Amino acid sequence: MKVLGIETTCDETSAAVVEQGPPGEPPRLLAQVVLSQVAEHEPFGGVVPELASRSHVRELTAVIERTLADAGCAPEELDGIAVAARPGLIGALLVGVTTAKALAWSWVKPLLAVHHLEAHLEAPALVGEVVQPPYLGVILSGGHTDLYRVEGPDPETGRESRLSLGATLDDAVGEAFDKVASILGLPYPGGPAIERCAKDGDPHAVELPRSLLGPDSLDFSFSGLKTAVLYLWRGQDARGAGPIEGAPRREDICASFQQVVADVLIEKLRRALARTGLSTVVFGGGVTANRTLRSAIEEALGEDVRLVFPPPRFATDNGAMIAVSGLRLLAEGRTSSLDLEPEATP
C-alpha cells in the first residue's frame, strides 16, 4: 500500500509517498519534499498566516509533482491521499485539504484526514520505532506544548483516544525559543539559533524563573521566562534593542534558558509518569530536534522509561508523518468523505 501525505498546517509545504510493506514491517519512505517558508517569515520574527497560505497555494502542486516523480510513483499506484486536516492555521490548512480533496476526487482514491499532532507521535515509525499504546505522548512544537495519555483502540469504535493531561497556559515551548531568540537578536526560527549560541554558554550562569504552577500541575507556562530574558537583555523599560550595560553574555542567557526549559520539561514528565504509571514516552514536534534537551531528558529519565524521539529530520513538520498516519487510517478503514473541512483547533 502506498499513500501520498500532504502537510500544510503551518509554514512548511511538504508531500511524501510512504509505502507499507508486509504486516509487522515498518513503513518505508519512498520520497519526500519539504519546502520551508522560513525566509519569507524571517523578517517578521514569526509565521505570518496570510503569507503562509499564499505560499502554500503557490508551491503545493509542484511539491506534490516532484514528490511523485522522485518516488517513481504514478497516481494510479497510490492507495490513498492523506492530508493534515487539523489543527493548524486555518488558511494554510485549507490549501492542503482542498488540494487533497481535488486529487482524491480526480484520481478516485480514498481521502484520509490526519490529525497533525497524532502524526507527530507516529513519526518514529519511519525509522522502525512502532510504539503500541498506552503511552505518554509529548508534543513540543511552535504551536503546542501538550502531554497526552494515548490509549489503544477502543474495542467498539476501533479508534485510538488521546486524553489531554496538560498543556501550556500561554506560549508554546517552540514559541518561547522563537521569542527569546528575537529578543536577543538571533535569527528565526529561534530554536536552532538558541541551541547553537548556547554551545558557548554556561547553563548555570544566569538565574531565570522556573514556572511549575504549583506542586501538582501538569500544565506549562513559558511567558514569564521570556519576559525575564527581555528585562535582563533590554532593561526594565525594554526600550532599546539591548544589551544594556551589565547584561549577561548572550551565550550564557541561551544556555541558561535551555537549561530551565529542560528542567521544567523533566519535572512535568516525572509528574505525568508518576500519575499515569505509564512506562513509554513518545515525543513529537520541532523542539525535539534540540539535542541538548534530548540528552538532558535521556539522562534524567532514560533508565526508568522507554523514550522514543523522532529522528531529527522527521521532528519538524513533514509530509512523511502525515502519510504514516494515513496508512494506519486506511488499514483501519477510516476514510473521509469529500465534505471534509479543516479545523484550526485540536
Among 99, 317, 324, 329, binds Zn ion (CB under 5 A): 317
DSSP 8-state code for residue 165? E
CB-based contact 5:18 (threshold 8 Å): yes
Residue span binding ligand KG4 (CB under 6 A) among the ranges 66-74, 78-86, 187-195, 265-273: 187-195
Strands (E), 11-64: 12-19, 28-36
Q: How far is the CB of 14 from Zn ion (least distance, A)?
A: 11
Q: Rounded distance, CA 151 to CA 121, Å?
A: 13
The answer to whether 222 contacts ligand KG4 (rule: CB under 6 A) is no
The answer to whether 19 contacts ligand KG4 (rule: CB under 6 A) is no
Instruction: Report the partner that residue 110 touches, choosing among Zn ion, ligand KG4, none (CB closer than 5 to 8 A by kind).
Output: none
Contacts 24+ apart (CB under 8 A), 299-303: 300/266, 300/270, 301/266, 301/269, 301/270, 301/273
Binding-site string for ligand KG4 from residue 86 to residue 125, where x marks contact by CB under 6 A and - marks none = ----------------------------------------
Helix, strand or coil for residue 342? coil
Q: Rounded distance, CA 110 to CA 330, Å?
A: 8
Q: How far is the CB of 272 from ligand KG4 (least distance, A)?
A: 20
Instruction: Report the partner that residue 287 touches, choosing among ligand KG4, Zn ion, none (CB closer than 5 to 8 A by kind).
Output: ligand KG4
Nearest to 199 by CA among 249, 139, 143: 249
The answer to whether 182 contacts ligand KG4 (rule: CB under 6 A) is no
Instruction: Work out whether the CA dihedral 230, 231, 232, 237 comes out positive or negative.
Output: positive
The answer to whether 189 contacts ligand KG4 (rule: CB under 6 A) is yes
Residue closer to ligand KG4 (CB basis): 25 or 50: 50
Binding positions for ligand KG4, rule: CB under 6 A: 10, 141-143, 174, 177-178, 189-192, 195, 285-287, 289-290, 316-317
